[in-house]
Structure formats: structure tokens, C-alpha cells
A and B are shown apart, each in its own frame.
Chain A
């Protein structure tokens, strides 16, 4: 059994079923992200682990012990909130030491633990400050130290970076991951930002409509999305609708012509299939690739290091990314061109 085990969790608010038969096992020391749009149930699952919501049915166990019936303050769980939620009347050191004081840890021991935590988050000298004297990023680091100080079994992070500036968000997420790995603490991270989830997680659970659509390592989620929702939500994707001609060789007929993937598709011949393509899998010109489609340049967006081009191939619009090269300008709008795709990069969605 996994260290943190969620089995058959169900939760409804009124007539709304927010979480539907949610199952997940998280190993000790693992960093798992719940990724999904707002209202997908990710925060509700997190709050059930924390004890702020009671599941209608299902069980939560930590290290083999059922905690489903325990109150939040009886669970050994640290939580970091989007709104920081530092106690405004306490100094940074008092905030970090709050959980220790509640637990009755002797003063000297608590003080050294607080100092250790402040050093861990890189703010060793700010213990005497009040929360309002700190920047958002500093406040959130203090909140992390406060959650970690009582040595919880599980750390829950509820969109901790959403309220921060773009730059701080990136540096702080790296820092959170480093601290998590150093302490080896089992962590659930809730976010709607796919880049955040992809960059720091051991595993990602993509959620939609109260269901875990796909669970997997970041590379799997990105490169092999199983459902249309996952494909759309994580990264940009172009889709080609077609009909399977030959399941053994993966020959599919599309409006733009026929393509052969060179690998088996486990679907009956004649079934409708959806092929999905990442922008970086498409290349302008005939250069590299097994599949070549005639296309017309419809939009060019210069994003700095990357140029995102939208081309029309047949009736379908495809996104493709190229790196900016000062000596090769992007193609002009309306230019007729060809795009090529390596068969191995084509994703076949399960729920076509």
C-alpha cells in the first residue's frame, strides 16, 4: 500500500458531484501535482486530505492509518495556502513556531527548529519581522516554513504560487522542489498552471470534472496524453480527424491525404481516430519527417526565442513552433509551404 492512499473518494456539494471515484496512491517522498482547470475538483481532493472537507464516501490512509474521520488538527499535515494565510499579529519566527507551540514543544527546542526552518527557506534574519513587512514571495516561503516546522507526514500546497509575480513564481517553484527533495516529504501540489506541474512534479494527475483523467510522469503526460482533454489542457495541440484504414500498420486516411504511422493502432479498421500533434513535432518544409502535408501560412507570432506559426493544411489549422534564427526570417503570411511530421511524434488519442 502506498504511503498516502486515497481510495474511492466521492464528494458532492448539493447536487454537484465535485469528486467522482477518485483513486490515487502516493509513495513516501513523492511530489504529485493535481493539474486541472478551476472547478475540476483538485482543491476539493486536497481539502479532503487536509480534513477541511469530509468525503461522502471513500477512505484516506497515511502510512497505513486511516485518517478519514480525524479532524484537521489531529492529522499530521502541513498546508500552504494561495493567500499565504500568515497570522498578521505574529512575527515571522512566531508564525513558524506556531505549530510547535501548539504541540507543546519545549521553548529551546522550538527556537532551534524555527531557526533551522528560516535557514532552510533562506530568510535567517527576518525572524523578528511582521508579515506585512515582507514581499509576497517571502511571505509564501515563511508559510512553507510554518507548514514544515512541526514535521508533518504530508505537505499540501494549494496553488501556492498563483498570487505571485511571474519571475518569483519560477524561482520559488524551484526552491519548493529543492526543499521538498531535501526533506523527502510526501507532497501534493495543486495548480492550474501546466508549466508549473510539468517542471517540478514526480507525477501529475490531470483532473477534469471530478475525475482523474490521466496520471503519469510529466514526460508521459506531455508526450503521450491519453485523452482529448489532457492533450488540450497540457500544452498546445493540433488535431487531425481521420479514419483508420489498417490497424496493423497504422494507416489513417485524413482529409489532407493518407498517413502511415508505422505502428499498430488497437482499434478496428474503419474506426474514427484523432491524431494529435505538438507544435514542436511539426517542421516547415520537407526536411525531416515521414508525413508531408501541403499547407499555407495563416499566422506568425514572434515570441522571442520561439516563433509560433499557424498553418492551414486542408481544412485543419495546425500550430508549429520554430526557434528564432536571426539569419532566417519567418515565412511571410499566405505563403504556400509544406509541413513535415515524424510518424513517431504523432499522438493517437484514446477517446476519439
Chain B
């Protein structure tokens, strides 16, 4: 009897998630009247603005990941090694982006870095791109920091550091050759989450007026019927591919195949 209930709950849950997806996918295939076709997908993929905005967002995602790794790995390492008392505070700070809406963050940026400020980042395209990248880094901070910190927990940071030091290694060598490779799985899972966030982000890109994928999706959704559905399916596929990659990476890192 209880078995039956749990199966029932599971089926309802699955239906709740899958039916809208099914409906959306089905709708996206209906562009040609009376038959299923990939016309909507073809239109979207052939749109030069899709290629441009998607390419831009991918590039921003990669830069954001680099910036995040360079910021978070040394910080989390240092906090673990030398300032364990500060850990709750650092964790709190990294969680703030979940509490503060990105519109607040981006308005703050625009006020701080506008063309009449001491650091006029919004005055140039490169500057605005950098500002957007820093904004994305902040948005991804909760995920990146948590992932890296969890990764650091699985290795004996203090002893490995001392072992490397006694062998003559300096801080940069220790970070690059000992710490980073050992938390690579965690860094990559943080990186894929960052990627998923950056690809779909709308607020910051729109307010900074950058040609990103998020604003393009919004634009398309406001003006077309079938294409937004196709675009949503594509976005889902990308996100799921990221999730799958996290699984693969954590499963296949060579030295982690410890018999459990």
C-alpha cells in the first residue's frame, strides 16, 4: 500500500515537471502547419543574432569562470589554511548574491562606475564587458566558493602545503601544482554551474546593454511565437549537458578512483 503511494507521488512529480516540457517541445515543432518539423530550430540557429549573442555569452562565461577560479581557489585555500576563524564570515559574504537581487547589484555598479565616476568603466565597451564579467563572478560566487571549499575539505590542505613547502615550493607552485589539481573536480562543477548561470542571465546584461544571450531570448519571446519555445528547448539542452559534464568529470578524474 505504502509502495503504491510512493509510486503515485513519484509519477505525479515526474508529470509535473515533464508535461510543460513536453508541451513546449511539442509546440516548438509545430511551426509548419499540420505536421511536425524543425523549422523553428532552423530559424533560430540560422539567426545571426543567435550566433552572435550565444557566442558572446559563451565567451563571457569562460572569462567569468577564469576570474572566479583565480579569485576563489586562493581565497578558499588561504581561509582554510591560515584564517579558519574567518570561514563563517567568508561563507556569509559569498552567500550574499543569493539574497541581493542582481538588479540591485547592477544599479550599484552603474552608480559606482558610470562615466562621471572615479573609475568610468561604463565609458568603453571593454570596460562594460569587464564590469559584466565581475558582476557574473559575483552572481556565481555562492556556487563556486561552495564547490571549491567542499573540494578542499576532501584533502589534507595543511599537510600537503607543508610537504610542498619542505620540498622548496612557493605559494604559486603550491596552488598551481598541488591544490588546484586536487580540487579540479570541484572547480569544474563550480565552473559548469557558472556557465549555466551566465548563459541564461538577463538582468545585468540588459541593464549594461551588452549583446548577451539572455536579452536575445527575451527579445525573441516578445516578438515571435514558435522560436522562443525552440530556444527554450535549446537552453534546457545546454543546461542539462552541463549537469551531465559535472557528473562525468567527477567520475573520471584519474587519481580519485579510490576503491570505496
Interface residues of A (CB under 8 A from B): 50-52, 71-75, 77-79, 81, 83, 85-90, 98-99, 102-103, 130-132, 143, 146-147, 150, 156
Q: Give Cα A147–Cα B168 distance, bound, in whole angstroms.
A: 11
Residue contact B167 to A146, C-beta cutoff 8 Å: yes
> Which residues of B210-260 have CB atoms within 8 Å of chain A's CB atoms?
254-258
Residue contact B255 to A73, C-beta cutoff 8 Å: no
Question: Is chain B's binding surface mostly helix, strand, loop or mixed?
Answer: helix
Which residues of chain B have C-beta atoms less than 8 A from A89's C-beta? 178, 181-182, 184, 255
Q: Give Cα A147–Cα B162 distance, bound, in whole angstroms.
A: 12
Residue contact B168 to A103, C-beta cutoff 8 Å: yes
Q: Smallest CB–CB gap between B85 and chain A, Å?
A: 14
Residue contact A81 to B163, C-beta cutoff 8 Å: yes
Which residues of chain A have C-beta atoms less than 8 A from B257's C-beta? 132
Interface residues of B (CB under 8 A from A): 155-156, 159-160, 162-170, 173, 177-178, 181-182, 184, 254-258
Which residues of chain A have C-beta atoms less than 8 A from B156's C-beta? 83, 85
Given known A130-B255, A132-B258, contact A102–B160 (CB-CB < 8 A): no
Residue contact B255 to A132, C-beta cutoff 8 Å: yes
Q: Give Cα A173–Cα B206 distance, bound, in whole angstroms.
A: 67
Residue contact A81 to B255, C-beta cutoff 8 Å: no
* A71, A87, A90, A130 — most chain B CB neighbours (10 Å): A87
Residue contact A72 to B181, C-beta cutoff 8 Å: no
Given known A85-B159, A87-B160, A88-B182, contact A79–B258 (CB-CB < 8 A): no
Q: Give Cα A83–Cα B156 distance, bound, in whole angstroms.
A: 9
Q: Smallest CB–CB gap between B153 and chain A, Å?
A: 14
Known A73-B166, A102-B168; 20 more pairs at CB < 8 Å: A50-B166, A71-B165, A72-B165, A72-B166, A74-B168, A78-B166, A78-B167, A79-B162, A83-B159, A85-B159, A87-B164, A87-B177, A98-B164, A98-B169, A98-B177, A102-B167, A103-B168, A130-B255, A132-B255, A150-B167
* B166, B169, B254, B255 — most chain A CB neighbours (10 Å): B166
Q: Give Cα A272–Cα B169 distance, bound, in whole angstroms.
A: 56
Which residues of chain B have C-beta atoms less than 8 A from A87's C-beta? 160, 163-164, 177-178, 182
Q: Give Cα A129–Cα B229 distance, bound, in whole angstroms.
A: 51
Residue contact B163 to A150, C-beta cutoff 8 Å: no
Residue contact B159 to A81, C-beta cutoff 8 Å: yes
Residue contact A73 to B163, C-beta cutoff 8 Å: no
Q: Give Cα A77–Cα B177 distance, bound, in whole angstroms.
A: 20
Which residues of chain A have C-beta atoms less than 8 A from B178's C-beta? 87, 89
Which residues of chain A have C-beta atoms less than 8 A from B168's C-beta? 73-74, 99, 102-103, 150
Closest to A88 in B: B255
Which residues of chain A have C-beta atoms less than 8 A from B258's C-beta? 132
